[in-house]
Structure 1
Amino acid sequence: MKAFKYLTIIFLATALLSCGDNVELQKKSFSVSTNAQNGTISIDKTLELSLKNPKNIKITSVNYELNGKPITPKQVLSDFKLGEHTLKATINFNGETAIVNQTIALLSHVAPKFLTVEVINTFPHDKTSFTQGLEFSNGVLYESTGQFGESKIRTIDYKTGKSITETTIPDAFFGEGITVLNNTVYHLTWQGKKGFTYDATTLEKKSSFNYGQSKEGWGFANDGSKLYKSDGTSLIWTLNPDTLIEEDHIQVCTTKGKIGRLNEIEFANDKLYANIWEKNGIAIINPKNGAVEAVIDCTLLTKQISNFSINENCLNGIAYNPETQTFFLTGKRWDKLFEVKIIEN
């Protein structure tokens, strides 16, 4: 009798385990087929989804989401941001639920225009300044510089290149981009995971803030109400200027893929302008969806810099002056500051 009980227990346990294994196998059998080619699709297309069910399991319902937003099996993509998104399928069957996730990259459907620059004026620039941020505010040109032990923020008489006011950054921090909003200078550091704020008139330090999901600080800009922060990747984060919390982000893409190593940034004419580290160009970006709408070739400028190098003394510094409606461009340890107009190539 005891042997019979033991056999019964073993049989029931085996049956239960087999049942559990079977459910897991059923869950793993589902997959989602899309019309995305090699995991990419342009936002002028309709994303078409279908569930693969090779075991012909009776399904109660299937729900799809793209980055947490419910979508249909035939979803128009024009309202979505570019970049990598998580496609999620939730399948209900026999009282069970299976989740299938995969990554889809949404790309721009319009190739960027190619532009160049026309030099209006050339001004002197402090060639010891490892320029990381450049911005006009109320007619005053602000600049931030990098390197440990050399980082500073200053206001400049751009016609002479001379400092008006200046403050140094603690040696422990490598200074990066700046932006000026509501009489406050917002300043990033590179890998210190910390930024600072300063009085825009006196450059006296006011406060500090920590980064959120972004790991590094590179470029800073603002549109008059929110801040934009690049972190050296293809992402540009939007921050609340009061709380300094990263509230959202865009991923910068063309028709071919994402654009990384975004550096100094500027907001002007309802667009974002971004230096790309180790490139002689500036990307013009749609701040709503991340599409690169144009690329500005700045080779005309880099050829005039005797100590120019693509990775060290590179193009880095974009400031739009609304009074002249021109851009001011420079680079790391450049001896020149160029006032330019952007023109069709």
Structure 2
Amino acid sequence: MTLPRLPHAVPALAAALPLTLLPAACTQPAEQAAPEQLVAVVKERYDFDPTSFTQGLEVAPDGTLYVGTGMEGESRIYRRSLDGAVLAAQDIDPAYFGEGITRIDDYVWQLTWQDNVAMKRDAETLAETGRATYTGEGWGICARPEAGEVIFSDGTAELRRMDPATLEERERFTVTLGGEPVAGLNELECVGDAVYANIFTTTDIVRIDASTGAVTAVIDASDVPNNATADPNHVLNGIAHIPGTDEFYLAGKRWPDLYRVTFEPAG
């Protein structure tokens, strides 16, 4: 079942059918096992910045958080502690709409939506140190250091493999569930051999086999409270794995809350 292709910030967004509600006719082919059905269980809540149109979220090695935000004239990147102290911050060109972020070694990549530009930043100061270009839209990005690659999303059902130092594209692969492409792949988080992606406009997160593109789990995050002001754009967006644990942080666009969660079997 293919989700509708939608712009990333619009006055009104169509509701997408939750991936957990696949019709019975959508049977799994023999070569693709049925995905696990999981739910996001909140373990702790933290205050978050309700002005941040969150597009990217990542945990630094010291446990602090990188946050990348969007909207033209408002986009920035900052690093903060869990208690809210801002340790470094940089605004980006007001003509750009900021998107996903990821850290690799001593630098951070920050994408833009429709500007075809990624900014390379010093991981400590967040000062810009270089740029790369790419075709199409930029939505999410995450690093797989053990595989020597980054994974990049553009809102479609395709993910791209890219060089971590230059963002040169190597190949693309399609994410499938029950043999059907899964569009709307948005913010990404790489954890070992898996890629986690939230499905734009929904409360679903999918876990993807990074080698095959097969969805191995569908995570229902509908019980994670969305306390943002009423706006169809203020959706779940931001997945960050907490290193050394099976826990994640979840955030959203202009959400006043950050949540520490686990993904557990449904029911």
TM-score (norm 2): 0.84
Counterpart pick for 1:131 among 49, 54, 57 = 54
Residue in 2 that maps onto 1:142: 66
Q: Does 1:177 align with 2:69?
A: no
Counterpart pick for 1:258 among 163, 181, 187 = 181
Counterpart pick for 2:76 among 149, 152, 157 = 152
Counterpart pick for 1:337 among 252, 258, 264 = 258
Change in 2 beyond 3 A, CA 1:268/1:253: same
Structure with the larger helix share: 1
| 1:118 CA displacement | 1.7
SS of residue matched to 1:149: coil
Higher relative contact order (CA 8 A, sep 6+): 2
Q: Does 1:305 align with 2:251?
A: no
TM alignment of 1:197-276, pairs within 5 A: 197-212=120-135, 215-224=136-145, 225-276=148-199
Q: Deviations over 1:213-252 (max 9, x none)?
A: xx00000101112111000111110111123201012111
Residues in 2 aligned to 1:290 and 1:256: alpha-carbon distance in whole angstroms: 10
Q: How many residues align?
A: 236
**What percent of counterpart residues are identical?**
37
Q: Is the 8 A contact 2:101 2:111 kept in 1?
A: yes
Letter in 2 for 1:144: G
Residues in 1 aligned to 2:99 and 2:207: alpha-carbon distance in whole angstroms: 20
Q: Is the 8 A contact 1:280 1:299 kept in 2?
A: yes
Residues in 2 aligned to 1:113 and 1:155: alpha-carbon distance in whole angstroms: 33
Q: Deviations over 1:282-302 (max 9, x none)?
A: 000001111011111011113
Residues in 2 aligned to 1:110 and 1:253: alpha-carbon distance in whole angstroms: 11
Q: Is the 8 A contact 1:226 1:239 kept in 2?
A: yes
Residues in 2 aligned to 1:145 and 1:124: alpha-carbon distance in whole angstroms: 17
Gaps of 5+ in 1: 1-40, 45-108
Q: Deviations over 1:252-281 (max 9, x none)?
A: 111151110111000114210001111111
SS of residue matched to 2:223: helix
SS of residue matched to 1:301: coil
Letter in 2 for 1:315: L
Q: Is the 8 A contact 1:144 1:177 kept in 2?
A: yes
Q: Deviations over 1:133-190 (max 9, x none)?
A: 00112122101000000000000112x2232110001011000000000111011000
Counterpart pick for 2:43 among 104, 117, 120 = 120
Q: Is the 8 A contact 1:308 1:314 kept in 2?
A: no
Change in 2 beyond 3 A, CA 1:241/1:256: closer
Residues in 2 aligned to 1:285 and 1:323: alpha-carbon distance in whole angstroms: 20
Residue in 1 that maps onto 2:242: 321
Gaps of 5+ in 2: 1-27
Q: Is the 8 A contact 2:143 2:164 kept in 1?
A: no
Q: Is the 8 A contact 1:250 1:287 kept in 2?
A: no
Residues in 2 aligned to 1:308 and 1:316: alpha-carbon distance in whole angstroms: 15
| 1:324 CA displacement | 4.2
| 1:43 CA displacement | 6.9
Q: Is the 8 A contact 2:118 2:131 kept in 1?
A: yes
SS of residue matched to 1:299: coil
Q: Is the 8 A contact 2:193 2:211 kept in 1?
A: no
Greater C-alpha Rg: 1
CA RMSD across the alignment: 1.6
| 1:113 CA displacement | 1.7
Change in 2 beyond 3 A, CA 1:198/1:43: farther
TM alignment of 1:275-286, pairs within 5 A: 275-286=198-209
Residues in 2 aligned to 1:256 and 1:226: alpha-carbon distance in whole angstroms: 25
Residues in 2 aligned to 1:261 and 1:306: alpha-carbon distance in whole angstroms: 21
